[in-house]
Amino acid sequence: MKKTLLLLAAATALAGISAPANAAGMDKVKACFIYVGPVGDFGWSYQHDQGRLFAEEKLGDKLETAYLESVPEGADAERAIERFARSGCNIIFTTSFGYMDQTNKVAKDFPDVKFEHATGYKREHPNVTTYDSRFYQGRYILGQIAAKVSKVGTAGYIASFPIPEVIQGINSFILGAQSVDPDFKLKVIWSNTWFDPGKEADAAKALLDQGADILTQHTDSTAPMQVAAERGAHAFGQASDMYDFGKETQLTAIVDDWGPYYVERISAVLDGTWEQSSTWGGMAEGHVVMAPYTNMPDDVKAMAEETEAKITSGELHPFTGPIMKQDGTEWLADGVVAEDGELAGMNFYVKGVDDKLQQ
Amino acid sequence: MDMTQAIILTIMTAATPLLLAAIGELVVERSGVLNLGVEGMMVMGAVCAFAIAQLTGSAGLGAIGGLIAGMLFSLLFGFLTLTLVANQVATGLALTILGLGLSGMIGESFIGLPGLKLAAVPIPLLSDIPFFGRLLFDQDPIFYTSIIAVIGVNWFLFKSRAGLRLRAIGDSHTSAHALGVKVVRTRYLAVMFGGACAGLAGAHLSIVYTPQWVENMTAGRGWIALALVVFASWRPTRVLAGAYLFGAVSIGQLHAQALGLGIPSQLLSALPYLATIAVLVVISLNRRMTLINTPASLGKSFVPER
């Protein structure tokens, strides 16, 4: 241990001597990514990888990247993150909620490496940053469209794990739907997985069998879209534009665009200006993009576009009171807008969700 | 189609890949070989079926391609464990890891493409039977194959001489060898049958269940199939029961959730595993029967004496 420390000290000193003019910045940076699913999921991990490729394209020779895919959340992730930290990565992006504690744990041992954790809220060390996108903004629009397009007034929601980000999405969806049809119903199935095409397809079938005619999902594969297409229902794409899987089915999709953020953060490492932060970008920052509105009447499309413009300009916030919790107690008074902190830790349903949330 | 039919159909779709992969592995294990590479062979079957269906425009050719891919992939396992006498457990695990990686590489250019679906082939007259006709006789060819495989394997193992020889090898390869039974050749054939079944099970995933290719799309189904074989104490009919029970509980729990009953979803997600284990353990309580059915040489390497 002592030896390593000495070596480290020597290395730091040497680095200091060799590059005095560029003390804080770097000529070349190695950025590493950890994905929860395969890069070929055509959903969440695929979009992060598109972001990585975008950064490579923008930064050219100054950037070297590496990634590990299908890294399970939990203890396994720690080894993967540590391996990257040891292998000379300057900045590591851990792109799933379940890497939160592991990211912070490894960050403690590698103070010179920058860590960026997606969708989490813990920043226990100065070298940990969190970033996320306000997907709930898009989900509000999905809810509005669903309420307009649905013939039966019920949508089905394939959820993954009961974490704040997913609960936000469900709540925002139902609030959007209720703004059009106050009696709109939402059925929720928790698949307890981010990625299992078969199980997602089964959940989609179950929801359609029980009377929903529009599907939306917070899991990562294109399977639910295909099931909806087969049954002649409608669905929303998730993370990627899934139009090709349901040309007469997809109404729109929430597309995650991480590219600009990755370029910005990696450039900050290059310039030596990287600082801890917590970014929560939305439509205004271009992090959340809506796929083209298709398979819907023009008036619905116009409504969706108007809502999108209002959310982008900041005129409309999906979580604006009056909002009641599911148990009937008041959460937000008339005109009050939810604070980010409250949203980031959201663990309750709003009124109108036909499901009981497990804590 | 009413709701009961729709639910049963969903269950059948969910159970078919498990059943196929498990029935193949059952024959392999009955011959005394433990192939833990089911997941890898399955995912290879899935990617090759999808790729061939895309390239030829025929989902039927895709299914056959998946079957052959699984079989060829299992030959690699056969060569390593039967000819080179490598450790079966380690080789099987390596096969799974290789399969997951290799399939990702093969499938890279097929990501994001909607796939072809293998069409149902209604059987004339039988498919007109009310209620059951739609369920049993208006299905895709892979479903029919899975049922025929169970009946065929059951007959083969317990009614045919070749099946008797295969079981003898599984119980004591040295004795069988001494009696002049071709141990290695029989095991090769068994491993290839297992590979073909796993490959076809994978094909079912990528051209029937969810017609698309995504990496790692088997999502652990190969392991469930492996577990089913053990819990079914190496009996084909019990594998059938186990696979359908697993499918039924998996789908049932989704419906319970959609109804908003308020049972913890984590518990419901674990239910298929718990229920299948519980039921299969109960029906295997007769220890003597279980012992008789367990292939005694399972996982042991065989080197013929010269």
Provide the CATH number for the domain around residue B9: 1.10.3470
Mean pLDDT, residues B114-120: 90
Tell me, yes or no, whether B193 lies in a domain: yes
Measure CB to CB from residue A205 to each of B10, B216, B265 and give the nearest one.
B10
- What is the tens place of the pLDDT at every residue in A137-196? 999 999 999 999 999 999 999 999 988 889 999 999 999 999 999 999 999 999 988 889
Cβ-based contacts of A233 with chain B (< 8 Å):
none
Residue A17 lies in a domain: no
- Smallest Cα–Cα separation from A332: which of A341, A340, A322, A317? A322
Do A186 and A318 lie in one domain? The reply is yes
* A88 and A120 together in one domain: yes
Q: Which of A230, A248, A281 is the last residue of a domain?
A: A281
Is A19 within the bounds of a domain? no
Q: What pLDDT is stored for residue A23 in this prediction?
A: 41
Q: Which residue of B has its CA nearest to A220?
A: B214
Q: Which residues of B touch A (CB under 8 A)?
A: 3, 6-7, 10, 13-14, 17, 104, 107-108, 111-114, 205, 209-217, 219-221, 250-251, 254-255, 257-260, 262, 264-266, 269
Residue B167's closest CA among B11, B28, B17?
A: B28
Instruction: Please report the pLDDT score of residue B203 as a whole number.
Output: 97
Asked whether residue B3 carries a pLDDT value surpassing 70, the answer given is: yes
pLDDT bin (cut points 50, 70, 90) of residue B50 is very high
Distance CA A70, CA B268 (A): 24
Residue B306, pLDDT score: 59
Same domain, A192 and A233: yes
Q: State which residue of chain A sits closest to B5, comparing Cα positions.
A: A209
Chain B residues within 8 A of A187 when measuring between CB atoms: 258, 260
The boundaries of the domain holding residue B207 are 3-293
pLDDT digits (tens, 9 = 90+) for A244-294: 999 999 999 999 999 999 999 999 999 999 999 989 989 998 899 999 999
Q: pTM for this structure?
A: 0.85
Question: Pairing relation of β-strands A288-290 and A250-256?
Answer: antiparallel
CATH of the domain at A226: 3.40.50.2300
- Both A183 and A209 in one domain: the answer is yes
Integer distance in angstroms from the first to the last C-alpha of chain A?
A: 42
Which domain, by its residues, includes A263?
A: 27-134+258-281
Q: How many residues does the structure list for chain B?
A: 306
- Provide ipTM, 2 decimals: 0.87
**Inter-chain touch B219–A188, beta carbons under 8 Å:** no
Which of B112, B217, B251 has the CB atom closest to A206's CB atom?
Answer: B251
| Predicted pLDDT at A24 | 64
Contact check, Cβ <8 Å, A358/B264: yes
Cα distance from B122 to chain A (closest Cα, Å)?
A: 18
Asked whether residue A321 falls in the same domain as residue A262, the answer is: no
- Residue B53 pLDDT level (bands cut at 50, 70, 90): very high
Does A272 share its domain with A167?
no
pLDDT in tens, A35-85: 998 888 788 899 999 999 999 999 999 999 999 988 999 888 999 999 999
Shared-domain flag, residues A233 and A89: no
Q: Which residue among B7, B114, B214 sits closest to A197, beta carbon to beta carbon?
A: B214
- The number of distinct structural domains making up chain B is 1
> In the predicted model, what is the mean pLDDT of residues A332-353?
90
CB pairs under 8 A between A and B: 123
Q: What percent of chain B has pLDDT over 70?
A: 99
* Residue A21 pLDDT class (50, 70, 90 cuts): very low
B113 contacts in chain A (CB < 8 Å): 244
One domain, residues A98 and A171: no
| Residue A71: per-residue pLDDT | 92
Neighboring chain A residues of B264 at a CB cutoff of 8 Å = 358
Tally the domains of chain A: 2
Whether residue A86 has pLDDT greater than 90: yes
pLDDT value, residue A359: 56
Nearest Cα neighbor of B35 from B200, B184, B187 is B187
Say yes or no to pLDDT of A1 above 80.
Answer: no
A267 with A232, same domain? no
**Same-domain pairing of A323 and A174:** yes
